[in-house]
Amino acid sequence: MWRKSSYSANAMDCVEVGLGIGIRDSKAPATHLAVEPGSWSAFLLSVKAGKFARSGQTD
């Protein structure tokens, strides 16, 4: 099952996540990037910690 961020509303330009599958672009659903669960968890922790925030941006 693929899930889209709640921040996307009904937009079609978004990234979707498939539990145990990977990530894909909603405009090209036939292809996806496989991501290991541990790697995905580490990525989410980094995002939540602000490691990808623009300089001076906190949220």
Predicted structure pTM score = 0.63
What are 1-51's pLDDT values in tens digits? 888 877 777 767 788 888 778 899 888 888 899 998 899 899 889 989 988
Give residue 57's pLDDT band: very low, low, confident or very high (50, 70, 90).
low
What single string gives the DSSP state of each residue in 1-59?
Answer: -EEE-GGGTT-SS-EEEETTTEEEETT-TT--B---HHHHHHHHHHHHTTTTPPTT---
> Which whole-number Å values give the CA distances from 29 to 11, 24, 41, 46, 56, in the listed order?
14, 6, 22, 26, 34
Q: Are β-strands 22-25 and 2-4 bridged in parallel, bridged antiparallel, or unpaired?
A: unpaired
